Amino acid sequence: MARPRAIAAPPDNDRGLNAIYQNLLRPLLFALDAETAHHVVSLLLRTAHRSRLVRAILRGPPPAPSLRVRALGMDLASPVGLAAGFDKGANMYNAMGALGFASVEVGTVTAHAQPGNPRPRLFRLPLDRAVINRMGFNNPGAAAVQRALERYAPDGVRLGVNIGKSKVASLENAAADYAESARRLGRFADYVVVNVSSPNTPGLRSLQSVDALRPILQAVRTELQALPRVPPLLVKIAPDLADEDVDAVVDLAVEQNLAGMVATNTTIDRQGLRTPGEIVAMLGAGGLSGAPLRERSLGMLRRVRARAGERLELIASGGIENADHVLESLRAGASVVQLYTAMVFHGPGVVHAIHRELERRVAQAGCGSIGALVRREAQLDVTRAGESG
């Protein structure tokens, strides 16, 4: 049986920082199990988070003014943000800003501290540029994250706060559990995301049903509306929802006057992977992220946009690795895109590489901004669709 071929790396990876990562750091990190490697990297990034001097060393050239966007009431240096799951305890966001991310979504944070699921619980699939995780919302809890956010102000980076249900909270008490996290953390957030779509907390995805989700959104919104500055509220959905369930959640988000949605979380589907099936089966349950999620997540994004129109702002997440993916998501209706798994396989320089390529595309098209480029390309898509029809 022929060995499956690895997916080719994106052509626009950074030739400097990413070359160091690919040739030196990645082999060392990949010699460790995935979670240990993450802890090693986290120790370095936490140092940068606390030190302006270290961040100055890490910081690359800022994005060109042509990449500035406005989304969810925020002015952002670029549309590229870091997805939830990397900075669970809110102790790396300034370091990630120095590496080029315009926004960082911390969490998922739960009201109660919890260790998550037993290890091993994080696995790389190099042939697919994918990761399987069953972390189980491991995080220090809302009170500890509150203290972390009080200690270090954001240094030029916008903060989202992603909140989930504590494992000790029953489904019946989920609304109060989410509300506690919103009460503690909402004042630090440029936006808040209600996460009901992780596959790794028992029963959590059942909260995506409109009857279960409505009281959660209402409870969180009540806490946020008591703040002097009310952050936009979004909900994050799974890529495995049936079409009719997606439509129902979109309708509920509009009904509840949410600012937007995040599409999407990880998938439990394993179809189409290049990694041999026996290896995938051995790794077990968990959410799959990375390149194989790309088309599924993009399709979900398009469906949400078609249903919501302009009534919701959208954040695209899932399999985004390069400038083509960013522009494709923006044309599909996203205001902001998020990546995470791409850093595992292509290194932290991938953000600057995306910025440079986007800048080149904007200039080459003679557009003054990325927004103008996206509108132009979207119109071309409509024209091509009409001609093919």
- Catalytic site positions: 198
CA–CA separation, 91 vs 145, rounded Å?
Answer: 8
Question: Which element (helix H / strand E) includes 334?
Answer: strand 334-339
Alpha helices in 131-189, H assignment, sequence order: 142-151, 174-185
H or E element in which residue 124 lies: strand 122-125
**Residues paired with residue 334 on neighbouring β-strands, in sequence order:** 314
* Residue 131, both tokens: 């990761």
Tell me the two tokens of residue 132.
Answer: 């399987």
The rounded distance, in Å, linking the Cα atoms of 241 and 231 is 27
285: how many CB neighbours lie within 10 A of its CB? 11
Q: Are strands 334-339 and 313-317 parallel, antiparallel or unpaired?
A: parallel
| d(C-alpha 283, C-alpha 101), whole Å | 31
Contacts 24+ apart (CB under 8 A), 37-44: 38/122, 42/91, 42/92
